[in-house]
């Protein structure tokens, strides 16, 4: 598979960035794209695809200041311009797997589907998992061709359709040379169907990222059951203890840290086996059977430092991520997402002057009931703050082998959660450290570009609202 797209540092994915707690990270984003495309100038806000060559940067999952020079996605970087972002990672920031991606309102789906993303790793400082070899699997669903199938439209990262819808002038030039047929692909670290070499009995730590603009991934073995999967963390936050999985379910934007060992070679695909239908409609999932990667197991001697035993414990979560399940909520807000008019609670996005979807004060315990009013599962992403799942689809029990069928269960911490129409997804978050305006939106990014996003406003606690971000 080949095509031309907008990318960071000329590669898909962009460079992996590694930091530690307490670090200050500076990233200068230079927009070297050509000017002259249709950007709209930012005001009034345009809830449609546009500005193909305008961009912005979002550090997805990092708990950092969303204002000023921080993770401020309200500020655009126009062609020929640059912006330096400064992120201060707290001493208690979660260690784990995060990612960065393009986030200009209007061209997000286009640029992310083309591969404008990369991994962010906050290193562990403990020894619990140090023995395991790290393997990054940054997965970007891409569709090509023009047809009537919903699984090949703009919601599924169709780079040709998105270029046209965004008013871009890039010659995408898609070429398909694989023999598998179809027009649904998942790039894994920029490659189609790469190979992962594993020693027999070796455990490796997979850092999985669904870096796509839309569809869910259901990661599992194609036919055999020769591999063991143990979940360590979701969205960069450790679970209570390693959890056996039958498959790994990744909402758009979600991550999973997983220990993998295989007794023999195996192929991994995205396949829901129909089990997703109760929570995730087929139209919201990568086409069943789409190949992801293969594991080749060798008979090499593993005594040379390879880890041959599964972890029985994981590092602790940050102190500020104390369970909120038994806490008294300061407020409860119901939000509904509608893919027919692309709104949240019937309110279209109006930029940083929007009426906030949620207003809170630092230290509050905020409960949000998330639902959909159409037939789609809209993954809800909150910038800056992680959310703890209280219930999904009415279930409040412990995590099961497939995390409730959609990648979530009560008690886990997420920055992106699924929603569905039969029962609200109930989450809680307690804003810490950072006041100001941040964003929440559907992470089917074509929906966000069309207006399914809004502002979350956090006050400082002295009664005065935090300052608004600068205009785009």
Report how far residue 371's alpha carbon sits from residue 426's, in angstroms, rounded to the nearest whole number.
9
19: Cβ–Cβ under 8 A, 6 or more apart, which residues? 25, 89, 120, 121, 122, 123
Q: Distance (Å, rounded) from C-alpha 116 to C-alpha 57?
A: 10
SS3 49: coil
pLDDT of 418 strictly over 80: yes
Pick from 233, 162, 98: nearest CA to 444: 162
- In this structure, the strands spanning 387-391 and 331-338 are unpaired
Bridge-based pairing state of the strands 416-417 and 425-429: unpaired
On whether the CB atoms of residues 347 and 413 are closer than 8 A, the answer is no
pLDDT tens for each residue of 123-164:
998 778 998 999 999 999 998 875 545 455 788 889 999 999
Q: pLDDT tens, 445-472? A: 999 999 999 999 999 987 544 444 443 3
Q: Name 24's Cβ contacts closer than 8 Å, sequence gap at least 6.
A: 86, 87, 88, 89
CA distance 146 to 131: 47
Model-level pTM greater than 0.85?
Answer: yes
Tens-place pLDDT, residues 320-376: 999 999 999 999 999 999 999 999 998 889 888 788 999 999 999 999 999 999 888
Contacts of 251 (CB under 8 A, 6+ apart): 210, 216, 379, 406, 407, 416, 417, 418, 443
CA torsion through residues 344, 440, 287, 169, sign: positive
Distance of alpha carbon 348 from the chain centroid: 23
* DSSP letter, residue 110: H
Give the model's pLDDT for residue 470.
40
Checking phi first, is residue 394 left (phi over 0); if not, alpha (psi -120 to 50) or beta? left
For residue 403 the two structure tokens come to 């995390």
pLDDT tens-digit series, residues 80-138: 999 999 999 999 999 999 999 999 999 999 999 999 999 999 999 877 899 899 999 99
Dist. CA 419–CA 389, nearest whole Å: 11
Q: What is the pLDDT of residue 72?
A: 97
SS3 193: coil
Can you give the pLDDT at residue 365? 98
Tell me the per-residue pLDDT of 250-289, one tens digit each, with 9 for 90 and over: 999 999 999 999 999 999 999 876 655 567 887 788 888 8
pLDDT for 274 equals: 62
């Amino acid at each position: 598979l080949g095509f031309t797209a907008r990318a960071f540092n000329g590669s898909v994915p962009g460079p992996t960035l590694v930091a530690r707690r307490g670090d200050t990270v500076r990233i200068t984003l230079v927009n070297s794209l050509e000017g002259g495309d249709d950007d709209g100038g930012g005001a009034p806000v345009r809830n449609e695809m546009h500005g193909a060559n305008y961009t912005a940067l979002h550090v997805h999952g990092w708990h950092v200041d969303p204002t000023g020079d921080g993770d401020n996605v309200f500020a655009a970087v126009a062609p020929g311009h640059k912006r330096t972002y400064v992120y201060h990672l707290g001493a208690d920031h979660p260690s784990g797997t995060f990612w960065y991606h393009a986030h200009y309102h209007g061209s997000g789906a286009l640029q992310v589907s083309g591969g404008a993303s990369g991994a962010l790793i906050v290193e562990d400082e403990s020894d619990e998992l140090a023995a395991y070899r790290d393997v990054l699997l940054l997965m970007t669903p891409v569709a090509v061709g023009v047809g009537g199938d919903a699984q090949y439209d703009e919601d599924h990262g169709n780079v040709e359709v998105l270029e046209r819808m965004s008013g871009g002038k890039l010659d995408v030039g898609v070429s398909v040379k694989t023999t598998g047929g179809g027009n649904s692909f998942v790039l894994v670290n920029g490659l189609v169907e790469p190979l992962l070499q594993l020693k027999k009995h070796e455990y490796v730590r997979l850092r999985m990222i669904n870096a796509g603009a839309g569809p869910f991934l259901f990661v599992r073995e194609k036919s055999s059951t020769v591999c063991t999967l143990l979940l360590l963390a979701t969205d960069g936050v450790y679970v209570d203890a390693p959890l056996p999985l039958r498959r790994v379910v990744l909402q758009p934007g979600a991550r999973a840290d997983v220990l993998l060992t295989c007794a023999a070679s195996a192929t991994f695909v995205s396949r829901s086996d129909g089990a997703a239908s109760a929570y995730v409609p087929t139209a919201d999932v990568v086409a069943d059977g789409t190949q992801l990667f293969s594991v080749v197991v060798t008979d090499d001697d593993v005594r040379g430092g390879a880890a041959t035993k599964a972890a029985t414990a994981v590092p602790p979560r940050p102190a500020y991520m104390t369970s909120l399940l038994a806490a008294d909520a300061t407020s409860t807000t119901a939000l509904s997402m509608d893919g027919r008019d692309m709104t949240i609670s019937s309110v279209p996005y109006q930029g940083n002057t929007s009426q906030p979807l949620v207003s809170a004060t630092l230290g509050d315990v905020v409960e949000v009931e998330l639902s959909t009013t159409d037939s789609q599962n809209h993954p809800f992403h909150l910038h800056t703050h992680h959310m703890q799942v209280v219930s999904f689809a009415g279930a409040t029990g412990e995590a099961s082998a497939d995390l409730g069928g959609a990648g979530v269960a009560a008690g886990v911490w997420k920055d992106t959660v699924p929603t569905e129409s039969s029962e609200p997804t109930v989450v809680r978050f307690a804003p810490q450290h950072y006041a100001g305006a941040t964003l929440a939106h559907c992470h089917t990014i074509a929906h966000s570009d069309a207006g399914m996003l809004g502002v979350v406003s956090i006050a400082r606690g002295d009664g005065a609202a935090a300052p608004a971000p600068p205009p785009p």
